[in-house]
Amino acid sequence: MVVGAPGAGAGLVAELLAEHTQVRQACSPIRSEAVRESLPRRVGRPWPDCLDWLGSRGVATSARRAMGLERQSSPHARSVLHLGPRGLLEVGAVARLLPGARILFVERNSWDQGLSLFRRPLRGQGLEHSGSFEDIARATTRLSELSAHWRLNLPDSPLRLSFDDLLCRPQATLRALTDSLGLQAFDDEHPIFDRIRPGGHQRWARYARWLGPLGELPERL
């Protein structure tokens, strides 16, 4: 599972991993949210009581079916699930639905992350903070606290990836990630590296005088 605050680059990281030859499936973020609605109806018990009633094996089987993550033909195949812009709100529930899944937190310079959020069409997705730097600064702080909470409280220690490192050193950063996931490294000439744009790193510097409350945040939260 790939999770990160909106604007942190988690979506691109999930797309890159989905291009790996050992990855067989990628699941859209929308379908993961449907599990909490379909699972209680399927077993006739409310959320989250249905999880305890099914047990870990039954939960995983039902969750994979609801998310479209069918059983893989190869034991070495992998699936990638991007939790979407509400990922930091959903990751605790999804971790219970897919016990044993590796969780990757993608993190980014808070100023560049805020710029990526500014005026993005996130309204209507429960993310009403993308219209002003003041709102973005408050939301960025809260999302950082939520990320730290999950990293400390999830049952298995999650992986972490710096999106800034990916932009500056894409081959080395992806090689370290695939090693951590037990995947073969991408060839250095793989076409996915054309999709990584170094210009996104420290973009905030061109707008520093206008960042206002966002610029008052620490570079790393």
For 61-108, the pLDDT digits (tens) are 666 665 555 554 444 567 787 877 778 887 887 787 777 788 999 999
pLDDT at 165 over 70: yes
**Distance between CA 186 and CA 75 in Å, rounded?**
20
pLDDT at 170 over 50: yes
pLDDT at 142 over 80: yes
| Nearest CA-CA partner of 133 in 109, 117, 121 | 117
- Which residue is associated with the tokens 């560049």? 112
Lowest-confidence pick of 45-49, 81-85, 121-125: 121-125
pLDDT at 91: 85
Does 122 or 143 have the greater pLDDT score?
A: 143
Query: Is the separation of the CB atoms in 203 and 100 below 8 Å?
Result: no
pLDDT at 148 over 70: yes
CATH number, domain 4-19+82-213:
3.40.50.300
**Nearest 5°: CA angle at 167, between 166 and 171?**
55
